[in-house]
A and B are shown apart, each in its own frame.
Chain A
């Protein structure tokens, strides 16, 4: 293999490993247009977002991230559209703090709806500036100009033309752009130009293909685990066997026969390093450590829901309170109530996290990370190293998957501490038990839903209360030392933020209350059960409860679940997705569980519908249930999806498919197990995920395009209705109502017996 070629391919397309402050081949000509040097990377500079190369291609500098769904291609299309370039002539550079501003990284499905929109606005302004330059060059006015793939010509006089390349190629815009004063997800810019209207679109809405796919399929691009720096040491962290215990003695002699092996031990933080990776792994296994006593007071997994029920409330939030719910509950002819439970879940990315940090006290420290928020990961390294932020450069290289605040940020902090301790570049990679056992977790919760109904079968009141661990015991933005394992092991206490959510829907019940309560973290630091964002934070658990309950209500009132939803859903876009899913999914009307069985297999159909910010999704799921084993096969899904303006239908479709499958996995199998000492689900046997033999047979996606609306995020929305749709289908098949996830064969068998 030619590794030089491999590295270069990665530079071009997978992740930016080099910075080109001065683009090559800048034409030497009068500085009438643009500047030679890229102006400083500031949010109010047009050059921060867009530049034009000497060959007339555009580069968009994206401060959010694509984690493999093609967000960068969507951005390329949005920028190409505004610049009147073909999409293949727009390069998107992302994930490098030296080249892009912090737009928040991957976060809350905002890649397109926030990050892409900011770049759309910047690109529109860039086009305006380019047309002003062209007008000057061609001696005409900008409103007489048209652009075709980067060639500006005078309308009606095509011979009079100039290219973007000639105007500014290889140089940089030196133009300010209006900035809303915000950094991160909320950053937006606006110029004098108006972005195009949808009727003018040529590139937006087209199925442009991803650029990282061939690199991944042919293995010619680097991942963060492939980064090698001269003089680098390999490291493994040593995690305590009992949560909360810290080393009291470390026998360095126990690894003295391993070439170059050394120990870094500081308070609770313990790592081993060696020049060869295998030796670092051997040292991590061989090192003899005496640990302090610890009694983490974990309730054991079987007791977690009682523990939540009995826990004190840190914070209560009421998201919606319409009408007098308590009065309606008191006077309803009938009260329907159910409680639902959802376990801790792990990110369990495909590989445990890896980071490389090259600490340079007197120069520029470099971080290579797979984190979905590289700007914040770089800030974390600066914080833990005591360096000013501008002295740390963070470079994203594709990591082993990312579905929220996984273990990537912890690896950065670990590598930073170790690099400083040994004075060499350090590559930290976790072992499997760290990726599964020690990643920050999606929170466990219970949800109590109540409804009062009238004698004639109408819902008078709906009351929904969640109680669980906060989604931000550690922040999803990993910049603070207090949010990292290394920081906490070095003595910085956890600084939890109490945060929870409520169901997102438009049911027009006369009175409605949606509230939540958070409970305290189980430990005040370094807990393997510290809770945080896992893909669609709280969405699957909340909507498993709310949409299962809606189904329970419908059947309790002898109404068809689709008709019941359509009766109460108020938003026309919500009505549209419910109808589309039911039509395409061949919904069969029923007012009670049908319990259709053929031999040992029962089949059923279930629906669930949700909103997520401005996106709407309805799903019809079909299941086969093996009545002997209790095993469920979620066989077919029909997804109706409305995320406003569609940028790229094919990549949207694939993203939705992934959401459904990951959602099925979480609904059917995933549950973090733990005893009174530690997490005990530490690999793929103890934390199973969906297997290929269980993958759906068919996923039909109905895309509802609303070009007149802003695009509104698709990375998570279709994850949240999956568990409810499957549970509702299982109920239709068997009459067994799941109120606890995951929907394992044992639980189903118990329900059927």
Chain B
């Protein structure tokens, strides 16, 4: 049943009355109006719901609030803005990456985490870091270009 839980997102701490078993995704989207992480599968199979938790890319659709509470969560809007873009965002715009864009959140957040830990990855390291993310429109080649561009920035 619902209990009051503390959640830190993009540097702000919120107190939420929620079911501890509820995935973080719904707290972000429905309680905090942070809609960038999106429901794609609810099974940690696609990455559309990705956020950073203490700097690590995680799937918010399978991360219960009881686990997320107390950690620092960052969403897409927490990494950069049109005025102050993250280099990964800048590169994704430069390469005109998304088509429908529904999956984009996952690719950007995972790329941010990758470049934080490995600023100059090889092609193979990029592919391995992004494995498991899904893009149905088939923008993979543009994504690879964008991550390489960001790494060179």
Residues of A with Cβ closer than 8 Å to B? 1, 3, 6, 67-69, 209-210, 212-214, 216-220, 222-223, 225-226, 276-278, 348-352, 398-403, 429, 431-432, 650-651, 654, 657-665, 683-685, 689-693, 695-697, 699
Contacts and interface: CB of A to CB of B under 8 A. Distances in A.
A691 B105 CA distance: 17
A642 B66 CA distance: 56
B82 A692 contact: no
Given A225-B38, A278-B22, A348-B136, A68 B143 contact: no
Nearest to B101: A216
Contact of B136 (A1, A213, A403, A650): A403
Contacts of B35: 6, 219, 222-223, 225-226
Contact of A68 (B26, B33, B99, B105): B99
Contact of A67 (B34, B42, B92, B100): B100
Contacts of B33: 1, 3
Nearest to B33: A3
Nearest to A221: B101
Contacts of B139: 654, 657-658, 661
A658 B98 CA distance: 10
Interface string B118-134: 00000100111011111
Contacts of B135: 350
A444 to B, nearest CB: 20
Contacts, number: 178
A467 to B, nearest CB: 29
A219 B136 contact: no
A683 B43 contact: yes
B137 to A, nearest CB: 5
Contacts of B96: 209-210, 213, 650-651, 654
Nearest to A207: B96
B74 interface: no
A214 B36 contact: no
Contact of A683 (B45, B102, B143): B45
Contacts of B138: 657-665, 690
A658 B137 contact: yes
Interface string B53-91: 000000000000000000000011100111001000100
A685 B134 CA distance: 11
Residue among A212, A278, A650 having the largest count of chain B Cβ atoms under 10 Å: A278
Contacts of B76: 218-219
Contacts of A226: 29, 35
Contacts of B80: 218
13 contacts: A213-B93, A217-B108, A218-B77, A219-B36, A219-B75, A278-B23, A350-B46, A350-B102, A401-B102, A432-B43, A662-B138, A664-B138, A685-B45
A222 B34 CA distance: 11
Contacts of A663: 138
A693 B102 contact: no
Instruction: Place the interface of chain B in its size category.
Output: 35 or more
B136 A218 contact: no
Interface in B134-153: 134-144
B89 A689 contact: no
Nearest to B26: A278
B46 A684 contact: yes
B47 to A, nearest CB: 10
A322 B123 CA distance: 51
B136 A689 contact: yes
Contacts of B41: 432, 683-684
A403 B38 CA distance: 19
Nearest to B78: A1
Contact of A695 (B77, B85, B141): B141
B34 A1 contact: yes
B82 A220 contact: yes
A217 B136 contact: no
Residue among B46, B100, B135 having the largest count of chain A Cβ atoms under 10 Å: B100
A217 B98 contact: yes
Contact of B89 (A212, A217, A654, A692): A217
A692 B123 CA distance: 11
Contacts of A658: 99, 137-139
Contacts of B43: 432, 683-684
Contact of B98 (A6, A68, A651): A68
A670 to B, nearest CB: 11
Given A219-B105, A277-B26, A401 B136 contact: yes
A218 B81 contact: yes
A685 B40 CA distance: 13
B97 interface: yes
A403 B99 CA distance: 12
Contacts of A222: 35
Given A68-B98, A219-B35, A432-B41, 14 more contacts: A209-B96, A216-B101, A217-B89, A277-B26, A278-B30, A352-B39, A650-B96, A658-B138, A661-B139, A684-B43, A684-B46, A692-B144, A697-B123, A699-B141
A401 B100 contact: yes
Contact of B141 (A216, A218, A220, A696): A696
A650 B132 CA distance: 28
B100 to A, nearest CB: 4
Nearest to B135: A350
Contacts of B85: 217-218
A68 B30 CA distance: 26
Contacts of A683: 41, 43, 45
Contacts of A654: 96, 99, 139, 142
A276 B23 CA distance: 13
Contact of A349 (B23, B130, B132, B136): B136
Nearest to A351: B40
Contacts of A278: 18-19, 22-23, 26, 30
Contacts of A691: 131-132
B112 interface: no
A396 to B, nearest CB: 12
A684 B103 CA distance: 14
Contacts of A690: 138, 140
Contacts of B77: 1, 218-220
B7 interface: no
B52 interface: no
A68 B100 contact: yes
Interface in B1-45: 10, 18-19, 22-23, 26, 29-30, 32-36, 38-43, 45
Given A278-B22, A693-B127, A399 B140 contact: no
A692 B130 contact: yes
B39 A429 contact: yes
B40 A432 contact: yes
The 4 A-B pairs with the shortest beta carbon distances in the complex, nearest first, are: A661-B138, A68-B99, A216-B101, A695-B140
B103 A350 contact: yes
Contact of B99 (A69, A352, A695, A696): A69
Contacts of B126: 692
A549 to B, nearest CB: 26
A525 B48 CA distance: 32
A68 B132 contact: no
Contacts of A651: 96
A431 to B, nearest CB: 6
Given A402-B100, A692-B131, A661 B105 contact: no
A342 to B, nearest CB: 19
